[in-house]
Structure 1
Amino acid sequence: MSRQAVTSGESGDTVAYPPSLAELPRHLLTDQVFRRALSERNFAVVFTMANEAKISFNRLAEACGMKAERVSKVARADATVAAFETIERIADGLRIPGVLLGLAARPWEDTARTTSTEPDDGDDPMKRRQLLRGALAAGLTGSAIAALSDTRQSFDQALTGFTPADISDLEAAAESYGYGYQGQAPTRVLADLVADFAEIRPLLDMPQPVATRTRLCRTAGQMAGMAAIVLHDLGGRREARSWFHTAARAATESGDQQLHAWVLAREAMVPLNYGAPKAAADLAERARQTAGTAPTAAATLAAAVAARAYALSGQTDQARGALADADRLMDRLDGDQLADTWFGHCEQKHHVHLSHAWTALGDTGRARESQDRALVLSAPTSRMTRTLLKIDAAACAHRDGDTDQACRRATAALALLPPDYRTGLTHSRAMDLYRSIPAQLHGERAVRELQEVLAA
């Protein structure tokens, strides 16, 4: 039986809380299935597992102020618990910390602790020592072994990082999203991404071993970063920056420097593609410093993005230097670093960046080489990427003096896009081409047609 819990009332007087009639054993409150049921307020599982832990339905009912028949029905899923007051009674009757049920901390939480045959794992070493001595006084009985095992298992959990199945599922989901749109509309991918991202929060709210929390933060950083990429592609600049900031915080807490560098490099593409190349160059340089000098996908991406930013801001020497660094790093990548995902830096992706950088530098020969190679390597379902490459090719035609052909190519590329792809990044890149055309040519038919597509 638990000892009486005492806390202070608003007047400063002490308020006594009687011992619970059905306090849950500690192993239930650390069981991940049980904790998930609590977070979902699935009392069918809660009551069933409590009953399996040798707490009768009659005791559960009395402790929670419910009828035994109703408790039995809830356990069989023939009835549910939805009333807020009932949920509070269950929390107090079974001594369930409020946070596990989405409630405020209960009045008894400050001082109430489980004793029974288990050791007190609170902050008082002397009390814990006395409880262990008392349990062992009669020899290695069942209660003594249970006390020893509980202490050891809790320490094992801290060492090995007991991992809820949810984490592996979320890591697998993050990996699958990393393959990009795969022919799906960006809005659909975004909706699924954010829905899965939301499942990480309840796990972070629970006390977790360091290794488990590290994995959670890393997955959160990946998902938030990918959500930001989709928002960027859709034209949601402000929202994309906010999600990138969340991704950077999660990556920092995870301790994964390469993930942090990847987030910064990806964030740099927001100002890069929406008219602020100097701000993009600053972010890209931060990404390069964070990534370090080792040949990684993040370091290569950061160098390539820096090259594009410098090219767009007219810093030719810096752009060429960054391009040389990007090529040097690219030649040294291997394994997963070359994966064709949002986290890898494959040859196709490298040439997409080179295409834009060389186009901005006015080296249309090298730009076309990268465009042709990237198109060969791009899957037919890569609609966004293929369209951007075609718009880069149109920009090259304009730089070479064939503005009429440039406008026709850009118009045709946009016309082939499904409606979901005709906003954001593709629109911005085509608008850059239109703005580069001298005003005296705006009356030409091909130029007017491009303007009409952009205005639609």
Structure 2
Amino acid sequence: MLSEGVMSPALLDDWEASVLHYGYRTRDTPSPRLVADLTAELADLRLAMGRHRSASALPRLALAAACMSGMVCLTLIKAGDRQAWRRWGRTARHAATEAADGPALAWTTAQEAYGYYYAGDMPGAVACARSALGATRAPSVGRALAAALEMRAHAAMGDSRAAMQALSTAEQTHERLSGAALAASAFGYAESQLRFHAGDALTQLGDTAEARTELDRALELCSPDDYTDWALIRLDQAACVVRDGDADAGIGYAASTLLSLDGAKRQGIITTRARDLLAGLTPAQQASRAAREFGGLLGDTTGTKETPA
């Protein structure tokens, strides 16, 4: 309990356990529900920090705030809320700085980098990713995430050499991770994520043969419950099929991917990626029945925008 400005070690442990719990929930919980739960937890955490003055416990509370705010940022990025993720990203980064935790600062800054990437600001994504890499030299999930994001941003800009250099950094960092740092959690960087990110970069660079190898392995390792990565992997596979000359088959595979998700889970970056796939077709391919039906399916995903409750 809280009294006279003192927080028990058990309550501090409870906050840290709650952070880890939410880290796993980011993989399978629709964005509106997760943002609502996280923001409610953060309101309680701010109250606790306001009442507590212990110099030994405040860094742990600040770290919990950084992690929870970073998860809100991550969730809003997935939902496609381009204004809100910036505010939460800044809050997470400031809390990590207050906690004086280099790996946490790398992780929170990497979340911001993903926001720039999915907003289409590739130079901004690269700059932010490099800032995350500079936050700590020790192997960490934040460094792995940042290097992989830098790779994807360079690939989106067509810079194959820079993309492969960043991939090397991501792979080297990943090799030095262990235990919970490899878990399928917001605070882990599993092999499925590394293979997905490499495959995504290769898809953007047009190297479909290598991309297929990476994406096949990613899908093999990724649980369908981890629905965002699972769907994006499949959409990249669909893009490879389209690039290799069978647009109808690729679009059909993309459609089956969307149809496997309910409306709340389709929203945000999944729908955006699917629209990019459709927009990349030639006029003749867009005139096909499969493409027209896919366009209709995408129109059905434009309901309520995912924003905090």
Q: 1:257 aligned to 2:96?
A: no
2:34 to 175, 189, 199: 189
Aligned to 1:433: 277
Match status 1:323 vs 2:167 = yes
Amino acid at match of 1:218: L
* 1:402-446 deviation digits (Å, cap 9, x = unpaired): 222121111111111111111101011111111211234321111
1:375 aligns with 2:224: no
Q: Does 1:237 align with 2:82?
A: yes
Number of aligned positions between the proteins: 300
Larger RCO: 1 or 2 (CA < 8 Å, sep 6+): 2
Matched, 1:210 2:55: yes
Is contact 2:26–2:185 with CA below 8 Å preserved after alignment? Answer: no
1:443 aligns with 2:309: no
Q: 2: CA distance between counterparts of 1:268 and 1:377?
A: 25
The alignment's TM-score, normalised by the length of structure 2, stands at 0.91
Distance 2:28 2:46 in 1: 29
266-275 vs 328-337, greater mean Cα deviation: 328-337
Question: Alignment partner of 1:179: what SS?
Answer: helix
Mapping of residues 19-418 of structure 1, within 5 Å: 33-34=2-3, 163=8, 165-181=10-26, 183-292=28-137, 294-418=138-262
Displacement after TM superposition at 1:333 (Å):
2.0
What is the TM-score normalised by the length of structure 1? 0.63
Deviation at 1:168, TM superposition (A): 2.5
The residue number in structure 1 matching 2:305 is none
Code of the residue aligned with 2:271 in structure 1: it is: H
User: How far apart are 1:182 and its partner, in Å?
Assistant: 5.6
Aligned counterparts of 1:451 and 1:339: Cα–Cα separation in 2: 36
State the match for 2:307 in structure 1: none
Query: 1:183/1:283 Cα in 2 relative to 1: closer, same or farther (>3 Å)?
Result: closer
Name the counterpart of 1:63: none
Q: Distance in 1 between matches of 2:45 and 2:268?
A: 28
Any idea what SS the aligned residue of 1:200 has?
Answer: helix
CA deviations 1:140-177 (Å, max 9, x no partner) are xxxxxxxxxxxxxxxxx8xxxx6364432221111101
Q: 1:35 offset after TM fit, Å? A: 5.3
Q: Percent sequence identity over matched residues? A: 34
Report the aligned-residue RMSD.
1.8
Residue in structure 2 matched with residue 454 of structure 1 by the alignment: 298
Distance change (3 Å), C-alpha of 1:182 and 1:317: closer
Question: Structure 1 pair 361/229, CA: closer, same or farther in 2 (3 Å)?
Answer: same
Retained in 2: the 8 A contact 1:218–1:256? yes
Distance 1:250 1:168 in 2: 18
Q: Which runs of 5+ in 1 are unaligned?
A: 1-31, 37-156
Q: Indicate the structure with greater helix content.
A: 2
- 1:111-159 CA-to-partner distances (Å, cap 9, x unmatched) read xxxxxxxxxxxxxxxxxxxxxxxxxxxxxxxxxxxxxxxxxxxxxx8xx
Does the C-alpha gap of structure 1 residues 207 and 330 become closer, same or farther in structure 2, counting only changes over 3 Å?
closer
Q: Counterparts of 1:189 and 1:35 in 2: how far apart (Å)?
A: 33
In structure 2, relative to structure 1, the CA distance for the partners of 1:166 and 1:332 (3 Å cut) is closer
Q: Say which is worse superposed, 202-211 or 427-436, in terms of deviation.
A: 202-211
Give the whole-Å Cα distance in 1 for the aligned partners of 2:280 and 2:173.
33
1:354-382 deviation line (CA, Å, top 9, x unaligned): 12111111111221122111212122312
